[in-house]
Amino acid sequence: MVAEKGVVEWLLEGDPSIRWQTMRDLLGPGARTLERERKRVAQTGWGARLLELQDPSGQWGGGVYTPKWTSTTYTLLVLRGLGLPAGNRQGLKGCRLLLDRGLYSDGGINLGWGRRPSETCVTGMVLSMSAYFGLDDERLERLAAHLLGQQMSDGGWNCQLWRGATHSSFHTTIGVLEGLRDYELLNPGCAPRLREAQARAREFLLVHRLFRAHRTGRVIRPEFLRFAFPPRWHYDVLRALDYFQECRAPRDERLAEALELVRAKKQADGRWLLAAGYPGKIHFEMEKAGRPSRWNTLRALRVLKWASSSERS
């Protein structure tokens, strides 16, 4: 059994990507110590293994979007989740490649899907990764403007809007929210309009209490209650709550059930298990499904820490 105090020690024994985020989110050491730990993501462990797999062209997996989940898009998404430091040369090279290959006439990203409009989910991903790595490129402003223009009347986004969708998609919405948040941090001068759009989208999620149909109250999709990592393009409650805590969103009573769901998944030893991932090719396995997960434990603890501090304020 891992005692409550021992859980943090267990996290600190993990991969550098887990260790530095545990220090940042749960312990809060000095900036110098944190940066030293964070740099290790590119030097050893999962991050270093992924960087070694990039080919000279800047691609991973032999493609920009496929195969899933070893392509350039999804590898960069994992590296962003690991916390590979901004400014990393290989991360920036991959992001430039996605923009070079994918920027479409409508201002979004279209990675070879013919004459149909840009794909909103992928545009959100590319904006998120590029802004996160600190890419200095005016094309990011076009991506952000495109996404703002695609926001639906209910506050969220849906990649099927061009086909007549009238209700936002949770999957698309969380990806765009993450993209706008990362772009906001990169370009604080654009913050007011980006924050307004995010607030509207958070309200869309809150109306649904993050996982319930607002009219019937039923669970929209059972997989929303499963916590896999990496989440790829998929939405789940923990991913949504992690976004809420990351941007220090105002506390709202409509989060209560989602937070209780996270608490209920805590095991007797203080850890959280990993749900099965999504079918597809992967570079390597970080954690085993059904076993205690450092990723889920770290994410759950930082979400609950944020919720607790919000309740006291």
Nearest alpha carbon to residue 236 among 199, 186, 267, 272: 272
Q: What is the pLDDT of residue 1?
A: 40
Q: Give the angle 37-41-44 at the CA atoms, nearest 5°.
A: 105
135 by Cβ neighbours in 10 Å (0-12 / 13-18 / 19+) ranks as buried
Q: What is the pLDDT of residue 4?
A: 67
Q: What is the pTM (predicted TM-score) of this model? A: 0.96
Contact in structure between 80 and 73 (CB atoms under 8 Å):
no
What single-letter amino acid sits at 249? A
Contact in structure between 114 and 105 (CB atoms under 8 Å):
no
Q: What is the pLDDT of residue 167?
A: 97
Nearest alpha carbon to residue 42 among 176, 130, 133: 133
What single-letter amino acid sits at 253? E
Domain 45-207 sits in CATH 3.10.20.30:
no
Residue 267, sorted as left (phi over 0), alpha (psi -120 to 50) or beta, turns out to be beta
Give 163's DSSP letter: G
Q: Where are the domains of the chain?
A: 45-207
Q: What is the pLDDT of residue 311?
A: 65
Is the pLDDT reported for residue 313 higher than 70? Answer: no
Tokens of 169: 């998609």
Summarised one tens digit per residue, pLDDT across range 251-302 is 899 999 999 999 999 999 999 999 999 999 999 999 999 999 999 999 999 9
